[in-house]
Structure 1
């Protein structure tokens, strides 16, 4: 007959080496699970709409949108895999084995790295577009951006592989008991990762966008001085500059939201578990996953083409012949 102690174990047959089953979730944890479940569904649906939109419509195959597509793919994976697994890990024992655990740890660290890389590439894209507009068409092309995105994913996978190399070579060696899935990293490794993967990149992003802001302000003043001119050439120049400034503002909002959502995660990595409360851990988890849901919401708020794309997708107009060539950018400034 199974004793009470055995009933509390993940694997009663491994009495001495089994983890205990997670305790019944508190009301705070239940609320977090409900919110994460809702955000997970929204994240998957909204980012899938972004992926379909940019992939389907030919007009949206621009360097900036290719970067948004890559970011949407990483956000989609967060909603599809990480949020459900996070909920499962806090409510049940890990029963999928060491191989799946290793794959999950590798993929999760890769996605975090890719998200950082995409934000850096977006900042560089806006910097060149605003600060060096004459060189933008030749320096920032679709083939180069696609190559940059592929290299970003590859480098992040290699970078993450280094941090999980011990787990990859000997799965299950570092776990304290059967029934858990953790990525063991010492404080030095976490600190180095925070510096390389966050501090340096954030400093670079801030420097780039400060430069973009200064140039954008000067361009806005120049546009106001030309607003009374009535020539076709000036009109076209003003339209193009307004479009670039609007894109810079939109992507600037995206970068700021990213920094706000990711800062708690890296603070948590540096501080460690011993000096923080469970409430802070809850905020860290919630803010990290919320970012993947907010990105497509930002597109919907600031990009008319995304709203029109959603309409075409929901009404199944994308199934019609020739829908890829639809003028999805009409009336955009």
Structure 2
């Protein structure tokens, strides 16, 4: 029986119980560098958006919509800061952090991903009420209720994550085949529940809400065009408000399409193979899954000129000057 060289093992002292060190090819190294660049870009862009919304409070006061946006972009920031580098380390290097940290990492992945999906559902509902029931928006979508919903969303994601990784939390390292790897195996029941609760159910709600938003937005756009000759100050203000709401709905629609494009490959493959994390395509599907967090701020920058102006003020350190929060960036 051929034995492996000690230099090829993660833990040479354990001999046959140790995992083999991953061998990185040139092409894999190039892809890895690109993924690290995407991770850095994700962290930077989402941090810029969070600073922009939070710092320029006089121009963009803290409202229910901005609170939901900050919550969503903070999730994307965590994906770039923790999950992307963690997946790179888990899949391309020997795991030296132990079984407990591996189990906690799996819990963190589930927590952040579930929280991200919940945030998108909340944003979709916020836009639905703003477009379809504008007269009731101020009374139904209050800042206090939004904060409560965000808290409940993360609490629910935390409880669901305990169910999802319960076996690993009870017995860390139960899924590994050798020392030096961090793997996570789920049962058929857990995989099916995750497919329903983390994909089919939220996607159904999001698509339903946005179809309603799209229908109402189209009717409102036609109404605005038909009354374009009525030029009064009040109508102009109302028209500007409507245009802002319609633009937000359009941006949300693009975000949802990108979300589905990034999330569908992972969950579509889970229909064929419930335990996706144990397949050879796991890392690729997971990185596509995470790539949504990088695209979100790019879409935001593309559709909102005030964000590009805010970036210039942040990069040039003008935000450090007294009274910079009162700067007009609209």
State the SS of the aligned residue for 1:95. coil
Aligned residues: 326
Equivalent position of 2:100 in the other structure: 99
1:282 shift after superposition:
5.9
CA distance in 1, matches of 2:115, 2:89: 24
Contact 1:226 1:234 in 2 (8 A): no
1:85 Cα offset (Å): 2.0
Structure 1, residues 69-117: CA drift from partner, whole Å, max 9, x if none? 1111111111112222222223211001122212211111111111111
In structure 2, the residue matched to 1:19 is 19
1:296 and 2:297 matched: yes
Give the direction of change, closer, same or farther, for the CA distance of 1:303–1:283 in structure 2 (3 Å limit). Answer: same
Q: TM-score, normalised by structure 1?
A: 0.91
Question: How far did 1:30 drift?
Answer: 2.8
TM-score by length of 2: 0.92
Q: Partner residue of 1:38?
A: 37
Q: Take 2:6 and 2:218, find their aligned partners in 1: how far apart are those partners?
A: 67
1:130-169 aligned at under 5 Å gives the runs 130-169=131-170
Give the superposition deviation at 1:130.
Answer: 0.4
The structural deviation recorded for 1:274 is 9.4
Task: Say which SS state the counterpart of residue 244 (structure 1) adopts.
Answer: helix
Asked whether the 8 Å contact 2:84–2:290 carries over to 1, the reply is yes
CA distance in 2 between partners of 1:191 and 1:249 (Å)? 32
Task: State the match for 2:288 in structure 1.
Answer: 287
For residue 171 of structure 1, give the secondary structure of its aligned residue in structure 2. coil
* Aligned-residue CA RMSD (Å): 2.2
1:285 Cα shift? 3.3
Q: How does 1:46-195 map to 2 (within 5 A)?
A: 46-58=45-57, 59-60=59-60, 61-195=62-196
Matches of 2:85 and 2:276 in 1, distance apart?
Answer: 27
Structure-1 separation of matches of 2:251 and 2:97: 41
Q: Which moved more, 1:36-45 or 1:14-23?
A: 14-23
Contact 2:9/2:19 (8 A) holds in 1: yes
Please report how far the alpha carbon of residue 64 of structure 1 lies from its aligned counterpart in structure 2 after TM superposition. 1.6
Unaligned regions of 5+ residues in structure 1, if any? none
Separation in structure 2 between the aligned mates of residue 301 and residue 174 of structure 1, nearest angstrom: 43
Cα distance in 2 for partners of 1:247, 1:51 equals 18
Q: Deviations over 1:24-61 (max 9, x none)?
A: 3362x333212211101111110110111122121332
Residues 192-231 of structure 1 correspond to what in structure 2 (within 5 A)?
A: 192-231=193-232
